[in-house]
Chain A
Amino acid sequence: MADAALKKTPLNEVERELGGKMVDFGGWELPVQYSGILEEHQAVREHAGLFDVSHMGELAVKGPDALPLLQRATCNDVAKLEDGRAQYNGLLYPTAGFVDDIWVGRRAENDYILVVNASNVDKDFAWIADLAKGLDVEVRNVSDDYVLLALQGPEAQRVLQTMTDADLPALKYYRFTPATTDGAAGMISRSGYTGEDGFEIFLPPADGPRVMRKLVGAGVKPCGLGARDTLRLEARMALYGNDIDQTTTPLEADLGTIVKLEKGEFMGRDVLQRERAEGPKRKLVGFEMVDRGIARHGYPVVDGTEEIGVVTSGTHSPTLKKPIGLAYLPLGKSAPGTEFMVLIRGKETRARVVPTPFYKRPKS
């Protein structure tokens, strides 16, 4: 299983020690699971789980033209950010298709950090650097500067507070702060990809293994990519490469909340303006199965002999204990309650559009 060609995060050794079942994930060797996806999923919903997301990239955008650059490159309104605040955003092509979906945080005036998908780091960097030509701004790929740990679940705050100087109860959702965690200087953000409360902890690579061991020692369950996928799907969070890519727009993906047409010119704005006026041709919707089976990524949605859509994500929901998924459907067939047919290994299988998210955490 060991493959020298695969990239490893600084936590690779700890993950193997903890019994992680390592797989090739887009060129990175990462654990798909430890004890089992269902068990890890449940731990995050009910207690706390820990994910190594160090494979994700970080880009630093700094300089007097940082804001104009980011405003042009993305569809959300970066000008709304204050120091220590972050937002989910779309990095778009002129077609309004996604270069990537990203997390943008403002550290200080003219100083932003972007967290981007692992498989897109080089592409995003090249794209933003190209847009930065002629502007007074520096774009750097600082991915190797950080170990990134996602600590997620209702007990995340209690566990993390014992190890950090940050005032976690004061840190609201989508805010971040410089913080020392177990003696290591880094940042903590209240965010995640699971639908639970939780934190993403940026640490110097050398401190990563120690902090991970300590969190696991405090009773946090190490979790793999498998549970990360079932958790994010229940919370209806998009996965780049599955649910969104260069061919899909934020409005098609039902991410209208991050499209701020009023902020001024940006990549893909005219396309999005038209889509907002006329409605996108297709829409990403949540579905449940009516017949038995699990509709997975890439399975066609059919109407007779015609292919009218496609499943982009599908799995068994550990919380709901039934199959769920996301699919692109023609706008006219995307209302909740609408039934449609998915071809599961050649067999027409009934599914039904349902409202999302599939899972919403209880308000505490």
Chain B
Amino acid sequence: MTPEDNKYAKSHEYVHVEGEIGTIGITDYAQKELGDVVFVELPQVGTQLEAADELGSIESVKAVSELFAPVSGEVVEINETLAEKPELVNTDPYGDGWMIRVRLSDPTELDDLMNAEEYEEYCETESH
């Protein structure tokens, strides 16, 4: 199930907003497409990201994929646990497999992202 309280980017990242902080990761659809994740490269705390900037990369056994920022903001926290347990991206993408937290600089950007229902439809069309 795609969580209703997130917003979704076409590049398959989600952002979960609480107050001015957005938690970013990749979706369940994305982790399934990637397969076993073995290495996640994340930006440093303090990095200023613009929406659609490449924020890092994710290596699965079979391929590498870029990660893009769904929203603009300053990186305030990264998920250090992923260095030791990158498989959390597969097993719990919306929970313990989160990647970074940003302080949103322009919350109106959230309006450009998809809601859960729109994102599910988008994945349907992508897989055909």
Contact = CB atoms under 8 A, between A and B. Distances in A.
A222 to B, nearest CB: 15
A226 B62 contact: yes
Interface stretch (A56-64, A149-157, A263-271, A289-297): A289-297
Contacts of B63: 296
Interface stretch (B35-43, B69-77, B99-107, B114-122): B35-43
Interface residues of A, number: 18
Give the one of B39, B41, B61, B127 with max A CB within 10 A.
B61
A315 interface: yes
B9 to A, nearest CB: 21
Nearest to A33: B35
A323 B60 CA distance: 11
Interface in B54-84: 57, 59, 61-64
A226 B35 CA distance: 10
A293 B39 contact: yes
Interface in A275-312: 292-294, 296
Contacts of B127: 1
A37 B90 CA distance: 13
B85 to A, nearest CB: 12
Interface residues of B, number: 13
Interface in A35-60: 36-38
A318 interface: yes
Contacts, number: 39
Q: Which among B35, B57, B63 has the greatest number of chain A C-beta atoms within 10 A?
A: B35
A230 B62 CA distance: 9
A296 B61 contact: no
A37 B57 contact: no
B64 A316 contact: no
Contacts of B59: 293-294, 316
A316 B61 contact: yes
Nearest to B63: A296
A230 B57 contact: no
A32 interface: yes
A230 B128 contact: no
B39 A292 contact: yes
Contact of B64 (A33, A37, A292, A296): A296
Contacts of A32: 35, 62
Nearest first, the 10 closest Cβ-Cβ pairs linking A and B are A316-B38, A37-B61, A38-B36, A226-B62, A294-B59, A316-B61, A37-B36, A36-B36, A37-B35, A33-B35
